[in-house]
């Protein structure tokens, strides 16, 4: 089953989305994800084919480190669900 994701560069960023920091961009060996909101988030990262690369739970005021050494260069999509709201962020990887 494939998934289709759409990016809307003109969308207004919600306060919830502003609580998510993702760096560095582009990433090379690892991605740092910092979550400064009070809710618990379910985090997934997909490759360009819609395949799930990783899945994590992120807690309030937590910073996660995701190793990406074996991922190929490209654009990935981070999808995080918190309190019924979905946050989507583009992740650039350059190996």
Predicted TM-score of the model (pTM): 0.83
Q: How far apart are alpha carbons 65 and 48 in whole angstroms?
A: 21
Give one DSSP letter per residue of 56-91, joined into a string: EEE-TTEEEEEE-TTSPSEEEEEEEEETTEEEEEEE
Which range among 9-18, 46-55, 81-90 shows the weakest confidence by mean pLDDT? 9-18
Instruction: Write the pLDDT tens digit of every residue in 28-72.
Output: 999 999 999 889 999 999 999 999 999 999 999 999 999 999 999
Q: Which residue do the tokens 């190929």 mark? A: 72
Cβ-contact 52, 44 below 8 angstroms: yes
């Amino acid at each position: 089953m494939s998934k289709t994701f759409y990016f809307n560069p003109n969308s207004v960023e919600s306060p919830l989305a502003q609580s998510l920091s993702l760096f560095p961009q582009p990433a090379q060996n690892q991605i740092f994800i910092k979550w400064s909101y009070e809710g618990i988030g379910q985090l997934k990262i997909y490759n360009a084919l819609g395949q799930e690369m990783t899945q994590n739970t992120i807690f309030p005021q937590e910073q996660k480190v995701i190793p990406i050494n074996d991922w190929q260069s490209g654009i990935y999509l981070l999808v995080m669900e918190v309190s019924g709201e979905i946050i989507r962020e583009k992740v650039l990887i350059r190996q």
